[in-house]
A and B are shown apart, each in its own frame.
Chain A
Amino acid sequence: MSISRLTVKQSAIVEAPIASKQFVHGMAGAGKTTAGVRRLRHLLESGVPGHKILVLVPQMGLAGPYLEEIRSPRRKAGASVTVKTLAGLANNTVDLFWPLILKQLGQSEDDVRRPVFLSLELVQYLMDRLLGDVIRQRDFFNSVRIDSARLYSQILDNLNKSALVGFDADTIAERLKSAALPGAEQRNIYDDAQECARIFREFCVRNNLLDFSLQVSLFVDHLWTEPAPRHYLTTRYTHLIVDNLEEDTPAAHHVLREWVPLCTSALLLYDDEAGYRRFLGADPISGATLSALCDTVTDLADSRVMSPHVSALASDLSAALKNQPVTARKSRAKDPPDPRRAITLPPTDENHYHTQMLDWAAHQAARLIENGEAQASDIVMLAPLLNDAMRFTLENALSAHGIATYSLRPSRPLYDEPATRALLTLARLAHPRWVTTPEEQPREFDVIQAVMTVGQIDLPRARLLVSSVLRGGKLTSFDHIPDDDVRERIGYSLNQTLYEPLRRWIEAYQAQNTPDAIHVFFRRLFGEVLSQPAYAFHGNLDAGRTIESVIKAAEQFSRVLGPLLTDADPNHEFVRMVEKGVIADIIMPDAGRKQPDAVLIAPAYTFLLSNNAVDYQFWLSADSPAWGRRLYQPLTQPYVLSQQWTAGMVWTDAMEQATAQEMLHHVITGLLKRCRKGVFFGYSQYDERGYEHLSDLRVSVDYVLRRLNQTTGAQDE
């Protein structure tokens, strides 16, 4: 992150006395994080020991600028600054003070079993094993239509909300039911969800298994209230820097409310008009109340990102989205701010079909780069929802112009990633003992796909290679291919650099006396073979992140369930679990690492949460209703399960409308605040399904442009 010269206000924040407590708020792009990072540097340079400083962020993806500063070569070696989320802090503290928790829970302190921290993948696996039969036998959830993966994630979401917002997990159903409309058919499913949550929670407590919600509630309700752990934390960290306070949860705010008065210095940074993680429990209103604990409150009002034209577009679009009038600005300036110069629309003959819109976007991005108006890393392609087909088509369209891309995806099944599937196929090839039925034999097409993925080989050659070397589920030597012509078509160099090393590695692995634990297998396969320069994973950030997820999930699985699964091979069981479609934890790009020189393709929310600004944004599928709509989850409700909800109220359509409007407003203004030069507004008459949609977003943009044209025309006359 480049740190430009500070404004007067920023300097005052950075250079405030060490023993000061400051609350800084302002819009995105006003330079709050910059001030936070510089304050961190200032503290360190003023002699505050690094180990005394805690930087708290709502998710690690937002920690990038701080990690970059800490890892900077100019930092002296020594105890490092701690950068954590509340969950990370909870995890460490619960682990450290486990005997105390046992005592509080009335269990024997002599219990030798340590707590086991469950990943999201493991929770789903356990829920499926624990709840699958219960749901079927007791005919639970018979009035909702959602698949089981989403069912489990919503049950879990409710537990998380109870911990993060701070209400009793046994009252989830009661809260949801009281807010439902009288007579609403699905009220009974809340009881089902409550019962499932109870069964899961009881099992976890009995077996010392701690999912995210249990870690947080143990920390907040059992440790933070105890003198020893509280003393440990508040004396260990006496300087707090908290960024994106508005995206954090009431649990974090609760802890901070008691911690800030006890610390030496605090800098709390708060983004006005954000709260994009509300569906994950973020509570901007509760965050704002912490300002009362601080000595100073500073408002960083001006954007250091938006050009005057973008700024004018943000203000007009904001008005239109709030149903307020829009009129042309009166200005005597030579180049007055004009929203129309910050937005580009597709020509009418290029927006009939979805793919036309994508081609148009790729073409415009190429034009910007060719004309030197932007670098690839300063362009993002955003859509409210981004499926594989759309991402693939965009990547290809941009690649045809010679433009590299990378992507951020929200949490989704590990198995959906080609890199994961390749790893699993190679694992199957390396473990012939897993094959007990012919169906479990590695399939030829899986191996073809794996070869394409790890070797970046085209399909025809991958097909030729695999059909020539795969014999009875085993990879045989290239040299045994009898036909010279076939060998030549596949390519001798491909064999030497890619196929043969991989085959030999698998052969050597099979010669081992005992197989490795699955995560060790993956780690070795990746480290010793697939990350080498000849392979496609070398330097591929997207694939690297996926593999990191798989290894992490595998490690947890082996460690936690390995001892419990006496009737099955845990390695094989892990592979099966992933194949069944378990959803992975979000792995954000390494926050400290510089973004590649490539166009980012991401869902709009994911981009907003990464908190970066760019020159140009492409808003694609602008007519999708998903731009301004919360995720509907029949078993949960983020607004009702929030601290701001008053018991006894009923969630009405007007509230739904108001929140939808507010969300669209937040997203659009949030995006514009992260945009320096302009927006490309991509929409098509027919969407991917062949449907015609008309979104509030398009109506509003249309309205702004029409009004401006009308008022400018009138002024001209």
Chain B
Amino acid sequence: MSEVIAQVPRPSQAQVLTYTSGRMGISAVPGSGKTWTLSRLAANLVSTYPLERDQQVLVVTMSNSAAGNFQKAVRVFLQGADLGTGYRVRTLHGLAVDILSERPGLVGLSDDFQIVPEEEADSILDEALTAWLRTHGGWAHEAYLLPEELQKRYTHGKFADDAPDIVRAFIKQAKDERARPERLRAAVDAIGAGWVLAQMCVSVYEQYERGLRYRGGVDFQDLIALALTALEADPDYLARLRHRWPFVLEDEAQDSSRLQEKMLRLLVGEAGNWVRVGDPNQAIYETFTTADPRFLRDFLKEDGVRALTLPESGRSAPRIIGLANALIQYSEGFADPAVRLRQPLTPPYMQPLAAGNPPDEPDAIRIQPASHEQSSAAEREFVAKDVQTWLTDNPTKTLAILVPSNPYGTEMAALLRDMEIEHLEVLRNSTDTRKVVGAVFRIIRLISEPLDARYLIEVYRVWLRDIPDAPFIDEDIALLRALKRVEDFILPSVLGNDWLEQTVSSFEEPERYERLNAFRSAVARWMRAALLPIDQLVLVIAGDIFRHPADIATAHSLAIHMGGVARSNLSLRLPDFSAELSAIASNAQKFVGIGAEDQQFDPARHPGKAIVMTMHGAKGLEWDRVYLMSVNNYDFPSADAGSSFRSERWYVRDSLSLQAEALAQLKSLLTGADYVEGAATHDDRVKIVAEKLRLLYVGITRAKSSLVITWNTGRESRGTKLTAAAPLPRLYEWAKRMGS
């Protein structure tokens, strides 16, 4: 840690650190040390600005993991000179919760308002949508299905599978526009029978909001809009918060949505102090959230904003930096003017430091040529073998396999498992959440079936999960397996004979005895807690077995989820809850905990292992070697005729993106602008192409020393073969020229 404090700022960082007040915007390239710079700036402000007792420097981030990193970093810089009350680090949504929690009455919330967990919100939406499709499905099919698909039940099923995403996007956007269902209902009724998508979405939106209301809750999307409403509703409250946070430092500003920016802008005020750091080239959430890098770009051009850049990157070898810059150049000269106009990637170019970057290795970059076709199975196999070799040669180095989507990552991880290659699957709703839910599930199952020694053994493994190598564990398990009556072990005092004392001598093996004794006390306690409502039972268990804040938070949201399940079906009992938890733990039932991307994942803690992750999830992280997979014209489409887009479903007429069309209808409802069918689909393509270029850029810049890019022609079963993503030949040529 002392190294972090002692580190001398680079010239561009030093310039940022001269900040004392006003508005400042910083474009920071990957690896430019923006966390270091921003947290140091926060620490400087805390120690130099005469903060009053109730004032704090506010640092706003996009993710919990970033918030955790900032929290730690600022603390280190302050070196204990502050008791931790001079600054506050919050995610944007956490900040919204803070604002609402203090004055919930301003927006019609009660003080124990619940944020309805994502999976519960989804099920409200699904229920409403199913009901709508039951009565109006035929109407929707006629409007959008290809004629030959109209009578096919299979296709109707596909439409029903895809419809939730359309409605979800519509509701998200409507909430971002702060358009309530009543307003949209009036607008859509005025149009009459046309605009089937809008009819569907508005009807579901109405029912969805009713469902949230019935639960006394808000969804994640509501938080920002409601916080903004609260700030607008009461100028005094706003003034008080402005006083409380005289400085607002914002990280990842390229991922802010219009509404989020508006909330911060209001919080900062005309004359406030606001520092925004971001990289428009890393804006990769535009197509599935309402984020837009345009807001940051516009901010950098505003009058009175001091615009700076952090162009030096110490992360990657110079050749990898060169490749990333080559992609920026490719983007600037993009053939399609619509895409070019959207500015997928823009300067500043990345610059290596004068000294300190990893050296160029002879084989630093390997790119699969566009002429070399292979199926997705072959691609996975190639990567797996290559990873195996590399890890054998570099057991102390870090490696990541980055994939465009979770399902592909799951398939890749399965192959690594089969080939016994050490790996870690860091996909959404995977390891950590599943581990937390799994641990709780095993304990609840034991409470449901308290006489089954097999379940007791599984709970013992949960109990010892942090010390799997402790001595005599196998012996303990063998002992428990031989246990004829579970109660002899758990409740010795009740039955008068202490099986444990008779089996493991507290005198001869005190540590082992103590371990088992502590375990049985915990089990006895959980069994007594069987009388509590399920949410409270989960909290009791969580309090006993989790120590990591993210695990506690996941367990808490699991408790809320289970409470909701219990309230919505009064006939459920513990064995039913156990089944629900089992379904969640095995991923059969959706539950999104505080997922991997929200936790402080540190690649450096996993050397010698292959980390499987999505490219989205990898943002902000770095590895010695990085594999970018599936870089084809499906996952990274281009604007040419050959590209296909996930959003344009095969059964929909005229290659329409129904999601884009629904959003266009929403826009027309709100603004009165003309709606021309197909125009939105075209615009959406441009947006997707631009964002995928940025995603590729993010992927490339994760690599420190070496990078492998592969692509595949898709599944064998797929009718048409996919090709390499459009920029790949250009990058291949560049790398070849550089000798890779």
Enumerate chain A interface residues (CB-CB to B < 8 A): 141-148, 150, 181, 183-186, 189, 323, 352-355, 358, 387-389, 392-393, 396, 400, 416, 418, 439, 443, 445-446, 448-449, 452-453, 458-461, 463-464, 489, 579-580, 625-626, 629, 631-634, 637, 652-654, 656-657, 686, 688-691, 694, 699, 702-703
Contact = CB atoms under 8 A, between A and B. Distances in A.
26 contacts: A141-B213, A142-B182, A143-B108, A144-B108, A144-B109, A144-B110, A145-B217, A146-B216, A181-B233, A184-B233, A355-B544, A387-B536, A389-B532, A392-B529, A416-B533, A453-B531, A459-B527, A459-B530, A460-B491, A464-B451, A625-B102, A637-B105, A653-B240, A657-B240, A690-B552, A691-B553
Interface string B408-451: 00000000000000000000000000000000000000011111
B570 A580 contact: yes
Contact of B108 (A186, A353, A400, A626): A186
Interface string B512-541: 000000000100110111111100110110
Contact of B540 (A393, A461, A656, A690): A393
Nearest to B555: A690
A461 B111 contact: no
B213 A144 contact: yes
A143 B106 CA distance: 11
B237 interface: yes
A703 B210 CA distance: 46
Given A354-B543, A392-B536, A579-B570, A699 B53 contact: yes
In this complex, the member of A145, A148, A489 whose beta carbon has the largest number of chain B beta carbons within 10 angstroms is A145
A181 B234 contact: yes
B34 interface: no
Interface in B176-218: 180, 182, 209-210, 212-218
B1 interface: no
A702 B550 CA distance: 27
A393 B556 CA distance: 16
Contact of A653 (B103, B104, B210, B571): B103
Given A355-B543, A392-B536, A489-B487, A145 B494 contact: no
Contacts of B547: 352-353
Nearest to A706: B83
B229 interface: yes
A702 B213 contact: no
Interface in B55-101: 83-85, 88, 101
Contacts of A148: 214
Given A145-B109, A184-B106, A633-B110, A688 B543 contact: yes
B700 interface: no
Contacts of A631: 111
B19 to A, nearest CB: 26
Contacts of B450: 459-460, 463
B575 interface: yes
B719 interface: no
Contacts of A464: 451
B544 to A, nearest CB: 7
A690 B549 CA distance: 5
B573 A389 contact: no
A-B CB proximity, top 4 nearest: A653-B236, A690-B553, A690-B552, A389-B539
Contact of B447 (A400, A459, A686): A459
B438 to A, nearest CB: 18
Given A387-B539, A631-B111, A654 B236 contact: yes
A638 B557 CA distance: 32
- Prevailing SS type, chain B contact patch: helix
A701 to B, nearest CB: 12
A17 to B, nearest CB: 50
A315 B465 CA distance: 49
A688 B229 contact: no
B156 to A, nearest CB: 31
A663 to B, nearest CB: 13
B486 interface: yes
B43 to A, nearest CB: 18
A468 to B, nearest CB: 11
A354 B111 CA distance: 21
Contacts of B104: 632, 634
A188 to B, nearest CB: 10
B145 interface: no
B485 interface: yes
B166 interface: no
B490 interface: yes
B15 to A, nearest CB: 32
Contacts of A459: 447, 450, 527-528, 530
A625 B101 contact: yes
Given A459-B530, A656-B237, 20 more contacts: A145-B215, A145-B216, A148-B214, A181-B234, A354-B552, A358-B543, A387-B536, A389-B536, A392-B532, A458-B524, A460-B450, A460-B487, A461-B487, A633-B105, A652-B234, A653-B236, A688-B539, A688-B543, A689-B556, A694-B88
B85 A145 contact: no
A355 B111 CA distance: 24
A185 B106 CA distance: 8
A402 to B, nearest CB: 13
A632 B110 contact: yes
Given A145-B113, A145-B216, A702 B83 contact: yes
Contacts of A142: 182, 209-210, 213
Nearest to B232: A183
Contacts of A656: 103, 237
B225 to A, nearest CB: 11
B108 A189 contact: yes
A632 B111 contact: yes
Contacts of A702: 83, 85
Contacts of B341: none
Contact of B575 (A445, A580, A629, A686): A445
B107 interface: yes
A625 B447 CA distance: 34
B570 A686 contact: no
In this complex, the member of B104, B108, B551, B571 whose beta carbon has the largest number of chain A beta carbons within 10 angstroms is B108
A324 to B, nearest CB: 12
A652 B447 CA distance: 51
Contact of A634 (B84, B110, B234, B449): B110
Given A186-B107, A387-B536, A686 B552 contact: yes
A458 B229 contact: no
Nearest to A656: B103
Interface string B302-329: 0000000000000000000000000000
Contacts of B556: 688-690
Contacts of B234: 181, 652-653
A532 to B, nearest CB: 21
Interface in B714-737: none
Nearest to A461: B487
Contacts of A652: 234, 236
Contacts of A453: 531
A152 to B, nearest CB: 13
B574 interface: yes
